[in-house]
Each structure stands twice: as structure tokens, then as C-alpha cells.
């Protein structure tokens, strides 16, 4: 039998944004249910494919242990009649979609990249372009197995140990290591998306069109060019029927290399114009992977930002009675001098039951911001104050700069989450993020 738990020499690791970087000891685990996965007493946290942007999948202390799950990637069972999948937590979404789509099934909630693990998706309770109709992933998870101690693996679901279940969904790994996931899949008629593209003059027009499209389409997303006064492109889609896609021929997406050119505002504004013009208004069929994961067609695009890295600021705020919630967020970002190379707006539906889950009703806006020491921290903290004022919050899977004091004001369910962690004695599961946000010092509230 192969060595199922292999500790690697310490290396500098980061999230997708390349900052912060922390000396980490990766414990590569093929079998997450072995007792020695949690050997030793120090703080421990799971790491999937490292696609969270900030410090969520980094150790709480230098050389701290990361339980790397990506080798624990077996399918356990697929009930292809009822569309119920059970798989190990390290299986990548890419493998799931490639295997399921030809069989007429799909993962009902997908983030914007396929290079994430099932465990990472559960821990972030990810949302997709269909949050306004499908909710976040947690709504589709039937049960979880979670390693909570070296001698204890617990089965939990919305009806069995529901407190552990809803703390683990969206709990950013702070309640243990998810070893396997039972997921309800979605039946799909074809591998194609019927997509409508609409160009919008500015964020106000995009907001109106996005909300209207969300009443007609299950998938909606807006791309905004902040270098061009908020000119935008709205993509709305639904699964195409078999009849509609009869003559379509599948051409695998070409993966391009990240161009090796110095990043600058001028370069991005030219690239944005090119992108906008290439998106012709109208309706067409597109392959599902191109619709859901457009950024995956550029390999390692995060390296584009160089050594100093980037952060993604993602918040959700209510649309407001005037429907201008997104405009307020974008205006505040401009007022505080923010520069965003990629800006995306999505409509959000009902809140799920995950105690720390990000999605809630309103509009979510993301900004990809090149990190400049000091300046980026200030920008994020100023944005946070506005977001708190509007009754919103930020997404922990993207965050790197929020303060503990701001997080407490954003997250009313934090003390409930901490009580569950205490009740199950889960204090050893800590990350750089939980340390930074003071979540670990909340035990005993």
C-alpha cells in the first residue's frame, strides 16, 4: 500500500492572489479517514486546490500543517437514476463536470473556475451565476463526513448533527476536514448553454437589465469595464434543449498562456475594449465550460499580477428600494481611488443556512485589485465601512485584509458559529484567516 500521508518539506504557499505567502507544511493525504491525518497537536487546516484568493487555506502559524486533500479524489458512488453522487472531498470540479455532462447530469452550483475541489466548494459554500434560483451549494449537499479529531469522523446532514453540518457548509475548514460529500446533481438536457448577450451603457443600465434577465434566465452575470465609465456586458443563459443543440459540434476549449507583458492600466483598458467588442449582442449556443468558466481558458492568469499579487474584493449588499445597490458599491470604489482590472456583478437570491456562508439577497460585486502595500488595505477597509453601513458583508474565500472588528460587525451569526465549534471541541482547526479575523479567540462566547 502506498504511503497515504506524506509530509512535505516546508514551502512558501499562498492563495490564488499570491498574497500573503506563508511558510507551510503540506501533509499530502490519499485517505482522509486515516487517524494519522490529524497527528500532532498544532493548529491544522485543510487545503484543496488553493483557489481561495487570500489566507483561508494557509496555516495559522509559520510551518503550520495544511492537510492537502487533492490526492483523496475517488468517486464513491453515482446513482445515475436519481443523480446522487458521493465522492471524496479532494475530487476536482473539472473531473466531475467532464464525467457527468455526457451522462446528462451537472453540478447544480459551480463557481467561476473548475479547478476547485468538492471539499473547498463545500467549505466556501460556493455560489454560481444561478444563485437567484439555485441558492448556494449547501442547498444541494445531502450529507457530509467530517474528520473532527484524530479518532473521530462524524456523519452529518441537515437532519443529523445539523449544527455541525451548517457550520461546515461555508465554515472555511474551521470545523474539521470534510472527507466525503453526498451531492444532489442537476439533470441537464444537453451540454450547451443558450446564451443571450446584451451590451449596457453603464452600471445603472446593467443593474436594470440584470434584474430583468434574472426573472427569465437561471444564469446571469454582468462584466463591467471600469476604465470605460462602467460600460458593461450582460450574459444570460439557460441549458439548451437537445433539439436546439442538434447540429452543434463540440470543440474543446483552447487554453492560452498568460501573456508575458508588464501589467498597466493602459494595457487593461485596451484589452477591455477588445473583449467588449468581441461580445456581440444577440443569442447563440456556447459550450457549458466556456459559459461557466471563461477564465479557465487562460492558464495561471493570476501570475499576470506579478510578485506583489492581487486581491479580489467581493461584497454583497441589498439592491435597495431604488435598485441601485451595485451603483453605490462601484461609486464608493471609485471615490476611494480603487483600480479594478476585472469587475463582475451578480444577482443573489435567498440566504442559505450555512452559519458563515457569504451569499444573501441582493447584489454581489467583485473587483480584482493589484496589491499596493498600505493602499490596498486602506481601500478594503474603507469599502468595508460602507458595506457594513448598507447591511452587507464580504466573501471570506476572497478576503485578505478585513479586520476582526469589521468582520464581527458584518457577521451576526459569528457567535453561533463559535458556540458550535466549542461544543464539538474544534479549536485545533485554525487558518491564517481565522487568526487574522479573531475567530479563534471567540471560543467560549
Q: Which chain residues interact with ligand FAD by CB under 6 A? A: 16, 45-52, 56-57, 69, 89, 111-113, 116-117, 119-121, 123-124, 126-128, 172-173, 177-178, 295, 397, 431
Supply the minimum distance, in Å, between the C-beta of residue 92 and ligand FAD. Answer: 8
* Assigned C-alpha cell, 317: 449588499
Nearer to ligand FAD, 124 or 245 (CB): 124
Supply the minimum distance, in Å, between the C-beta of residue 373 and ligand FAD. Answer: 23
Nearer to ligand FAD, 121 or 330 (CB): 121
Residues forming a β-bridge with 27: 7, 67
- Angle ∠(324,325,331) on CA atoms, nearest 5: 85
Q: Is 383 helix (H, G, I), strand (E, B) or coil?
A: helix
Q: Compute the distance between CA of residue 144 and CA of residue 119 in angstroms, rounded to an integer.
A: 10
Dihedral, CA of residue 56, residue 61, residue 65 and residue 71, to nearest 10:
30
Bond from prior residue into 412 cis (ω within 30 degrees of 0): no
Q: Compute the distance between CA of residue 111 and CA of residue 137 in angstroms, rounded to an integer.
A: 9
Nearer to ligand FAD, 46 or 371 (CB): 46
Nearer to ligand FAD, 117 or 245 (CB): 117
Supply the minimum distance, in Å, between the C-beta of residue 169 and ligand FAD. Answer: 10
Collect all residues with Cβ–Cβ distance below 8 Å to 412 and sequence separation of at least 6. Answer: none
Question: Which of 178, 188, 171 minimizes the C-alpha distance to 136?
Answer: 171
Nearer to ligand FAD, 108 or 111 (CB): 111
Question: Which of 417, 413, 436 minimizes the C-alpha distance to 426?
Answer: 417
Nearer to ligand FAD, 49 or 286 (CB): 49
Inter-helix orientation angle 325-335/203-216, to 10°: 150
Q: Compute the distance between CA of residue 402 and CA of residue 210 in angstroms, rounded to an integer.
A: 29
Supply the minimum distance, in Å, between the C-beta of residue 323 and ligand FAD. Answer: 22
Supply the minimum distance, in Å, between the C-beta of residue 383 and ligand FAD. Answer: 19
Nearer to ligand FAD, 240 or 433 (CB): 433
Supply the minimum distance, in Å, between the C-beta of residue 242 and ligand FAD. Answer: 27
Inter-helix orientation angle 375-389/325-335, to 10°: 150
Which H helix or E strand runs over 419? helix 414-423
Q: Compute the distance between CA of residue 211 and CA of residue 204 in angstroms, rounded to an integer.
A: 11
Nearer to ligand FAD, 118 or 245 (CB): 118
Cβ–Cβ < 8 Å for 435, 60: yes
Supply the minimum distance, in Å, between the C-beta of residue 229 and ligand FAD. Answer: 25
Supply the minimum distance, in Å, between the C-beta of residue 438 and ligand FAD. Answer: 16
CA 396 to chain centre: 9
Nearer to ligand FAD, 213 or 245 (CB): 213
Q: Is 108 helix (H, G, I), strand (E, B) or coil?
A: coil
Supply the minimum distance, in Å, between the C-beta of residue 303 and ligand FAD. Answer: 12
Amino acid at each position: 500500500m502506498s504511503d497515504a500521508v506524506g509530509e512535505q518539506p516546508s514551502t512558501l504557499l499562498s492563495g490564488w492572489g499570491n498574497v500573503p505567502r506563508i511558510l507551510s507544511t503540506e501533509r499530502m493525504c490519499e485517505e482522509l479517514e486515516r487517524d494519522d491525518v490529524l497527528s500532532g497537536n498544532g493548529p491544522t487546516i485543510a487545503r484543496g486546490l488553493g483557489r481561495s484568493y487570500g489566507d483561508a487555506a494557509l496555516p495559522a502559524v509559520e510551518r503550520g500543517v495544511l492537510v492537502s486533500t487533492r490526492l483523496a479524489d475517488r468517486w464513491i458512488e453515482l446513482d445515475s437514476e436519481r443523480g446522487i453522487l458521493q465522492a471524496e472531498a479532494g475530487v476536482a470540479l473539472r473531473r466531475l463536470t467532464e464525467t457527468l455532462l455526457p451522462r446528462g447530469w451537472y453540478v447544480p452550483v459551480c463557481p467561476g473556475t473548475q479547478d476547485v475541489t468538492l471539499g473547498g466548494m463545500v467549505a466556501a459554500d460556493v455560489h454560481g451565476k444561478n444563485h437567484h434560483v439555485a441558492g448556494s451549494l449547501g442547498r444541494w449537499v445531502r450529507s457530509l463526513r467530517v474528520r473532527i479529531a484524530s479518532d473521530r469522523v462524524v456523519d452529518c446532514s441537515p437532519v443529523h448533527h445539523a449544527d455541525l453540518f451548517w457550520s461546515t457548509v461555508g465554515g472555511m475548514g474551521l470545523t474539521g476536514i470534510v472527507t466525503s460529500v453526498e451531492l444532489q446533481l442537476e439533470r441537464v438536457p444537453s451540454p450547451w448553454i443558450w446564451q443571450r448577450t446584451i451590451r449596457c451603457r453603464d452600471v445603472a443600465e446593467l443593474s436594470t437589465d440584470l434584474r430583468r434577465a434574472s426573472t427569465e434566465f437561471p444564469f446571469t452575470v454582468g462584466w463591467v469595464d471600469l476604465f470605460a465609465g462602467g460600460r458593461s456586458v450582460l450574459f444570460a443563459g439557460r441549458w439548451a434543449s437537445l433539439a436546439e443543440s442538434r447540429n452543434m459540434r463540440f470543440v474543446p476549449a483552447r487554453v492560452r498562456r498568460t501573456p508575458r507583458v508588464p501589467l498597466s492600466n493602459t494595457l487593461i483598458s485596451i484589452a477591455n475594449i477588445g473583449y467588449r467588442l468581441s461580445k456581440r449582442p444577440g443569442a447563440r449556443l456556447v459550450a457549458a465550460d466556456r459559459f461557466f468558466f471563461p477564465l479557465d481558458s487562460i492558464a495561471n492568469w493570476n501570475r499576470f499580477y506579478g510578485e506583489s499579487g492581487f486581491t479580489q474584493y467581493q461584497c454583497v449588499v441589498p439592491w435597495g428600494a431604488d435598485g441601485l445597490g451595485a451603483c453605490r458599491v462601484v461609486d464608493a470604489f471609485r471615490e476611494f481611488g480603487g483600480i479594478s482590472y476585472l469587475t463582475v456583478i451578480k444577482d443573489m437570491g435567498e440566504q442559505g443556512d450555512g452559519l458563515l456562508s457569504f451569499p444573501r439577497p441582493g447584489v454581489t460585486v467583485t473587483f480584482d485589485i493589484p496589491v499596493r502595500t498600505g493602499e490596498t488595505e486602506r481601500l478594503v477597509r474603507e469599502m468595508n465601512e460602507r458595506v457594513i453601513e448598507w447591511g452587507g458583508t464580504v466573501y471570506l474565500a476572497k478576503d485578505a485584509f478585513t479586520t476582526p472588528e469589521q468582520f464581527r460587525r458584518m457577521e451576526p451569526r459569528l457567535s453561533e458559529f463559535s458556540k458550535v465549534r466549542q461544543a464539538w471541541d474544534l479549536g485545533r482547526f485554525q487558518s491564517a484567516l481565522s487568526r487574522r479575523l479573531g475567530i479563534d479567540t471567540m471560543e467560549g462566547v
